[in-house]
Amino acid sequence: MAANDARASTTPLIERRSIDYIPEAERHGRLLSQFTLWMGANLQITAIVTGALAVVLGGDVFWSLIGLLIGQLIGGGVMALHAAQGPKLGLPQMISSRVQFGVYGAAIPIVLVCLMYLGFTATGTVLSGQALGQLFGVSDSIGILIFASVIVLVTVLGYRVIHFIGRVASVIGVIAFVYLFSRLIGQTDVGALLQIRHFSWSSFLLAVSLAASWQIAFGPYVADYSRYLPSKTSSVKTFFAAGAGSVIGAQVAMTLGVFAAAMSNGQFAGHEVAYIVGLSGTGATAALLYFSIAFGKVTISTLNSYGSFMCIATIISGFRGRLEVTRLQRLVFVLVIVGTATLIALLGQHSFLGAFKSFILFLLAFFTPWSAINLVDYYCITRERYDVPALADPNGRYGRWNLLGISVYVFGVLVQLPFISTKFYTGPLVAALGDVDISWIIGLVLPAALYYVCAKKWHGTVPDQLILPIEQGAIPTTNGLAAQA
């Protein structure tokens, strides 16, 4: 443990690695940091709004809370299985998809992941802009620009700073939420709200879907923040540390959202931040809550921006074979990513709530099949036996395009279409199911089963054991898997 702490103390403030393998000599951190990072990432305003949607869109308090908890546990389990891959592989999550999709083929789901990051960063920036606008007495648009500047700074600094902010955000979040719950209990009859029970499958499954989609959406980058842990770190403990932090944080935040929406008499939608802060009154307490809301969004928005940078680096390196990422290049990538998300936030800030609900539900169609394929391959087919150096070689073990993985992924997306219900698209079977969207269940189960059966029969060669890069001289000033091989 002392050696681990010593490594952390000598780690530079500005991260210099990107998508490359993390050598054992540079591993550091503790499992507690996984718990605090993901708790801090979830104790924030967007999670509150997500929980509130279950009531705003027709559910009652009791069944909304039950549905959200079930969704947290299902989605959180999927998310945590991805987190457990980080210490073993020492790689960001999406680059490991080259095993299932090929060195070039992995770009297909990665491009969609980038779009997800942009959407989540943009929607989070809208709420943070509202909070900073109220805190500093400026317009929401100016608040959005202030927040975007902070995100650029933290993202450029990288992994170590992100985990530090996660720890601080978890402490601030706990204090803020304890206070808000105490105020809420003092202003409303919680028991009476819980006694109102009008079960309907559509409202119940909507709550499940909201929470499950929230958790599953972390899957494409959760291993990015566990990859620095020592390789001997227990996979089971990593699973519970990341999963518990995310599930507990999200359920607490969404529970607050459910009660806030239930007692708002229609005043919540369109004034989410102001209504939540209004629970505490005015003056210095309100200012502190506006600050805690903005700070809470720093963690998750930085994760999204950092993840976008990693995805872009992964896409480019796949086609070029190697990518050297200087600090200037990193800054340019981050500026483009955050700049695009900020523009989306500025243009869409006045129609946030409805667009956000449709966005997070529609995302499931593209990420549940990827998650199913990646997890089945890692835990059931290859059983953690990856050839890490080969992930950088289009002519190597994994090839350019893996038609099996790509075909199952396309099938997984298409098979969900009849069951999707969003403003973007509604499938033909939704009405027959009472307007219940079960597409994410279809997207998890069927691709997982199909990939397992097909991969057992047609999967390429699997190494006898995990093959890692040779670590002699594995601390170069450039980045890229090819430099490590």
pLDDT, residue 422, reads 76
pLDDT at 220 over 80: yes
Number of domains forming the structure of the chain: 1
Other C-beta atoms closer than 10 Å to the C-beta of 195 total 11
Percent of the chain scoring above 70 in pLDDT: 86
Alpha helix (H) residue ranges in 377-470: 403-414, 439-458
Task: Assess if residue 463 is contained within a domain.
Answer: no
Whether residue 413 lies inside any domain: the answer is no
User: Where residue 274 sits, what CATH number does that domain have?
Assistant: 1.10.4160.10
Decide if 82 is inside a domain. yes
Average pLDDT along the chain: 82
State the Cα–Cα distance between residues 366 and 447, nearest whole angstrom: 12
Q: Is the separation of the CB atoms in 80 and 234 below 8 Å?
A: no
Average pLDDT over residues 257-262: 86
pLDDT average, residue stretch 116-121:
77
Helix extents (H) in 188-283: 190-195, 201-216, 235-262, 272-278
- For residue 142, is pLDDT > 70? yes
Cα separation, 164 vs 225, in Å, equals 12
Asked if the structure places residue 72 within a domain, the reply is: yes
Mean pLDDT of 404-430: 89
Digit-coded pLDDT (tens) for 345-382: 887 766 655 566 566 567 668 888 999 999 999 999 99
Q: Does residue 247 sit within a domain?
A: yes
Residue 301 has pLDDT above 70, yes or no: yes
Confidence check: pLDDT of 282 > 80: no
Is residue 176 situated within a structural domain?
yes
How would residue 245 be classed by pLDDT, with cut points 50, 70 and 90?
very high
> In the prediction, which pLDDT does 64 show?
92
| Segment 407-415 mean pLDDT | 95
Residue range(s) defining the domain that contains residue 69? 21-353
Q: Give the pLDDT band of residue 138 (cuts 50, 70, 90).
A: confident
In this prediction, residue 194 carries a pLDDT of 83
Q: Is the pLDDT of residue 255 over 80?
A: yes
**Confidence class for position 261, pLDDT limits 50, 70, 90:** confident
Q: Is residue 392 part of a domain?
A: no
Q: Give the separation between CA 170 and CA 129, rounded to whole angstroms.
A: 20
Assigned token pair, 84: 């457990």
Highest mean pLDDT among 65-69, 93-97, 220-224, 339-343: 65-69
Give the angle 42-45-47 at the CA atoms, nearest 5°: 50
- Residue 39, pLDDT > 80, answer yes
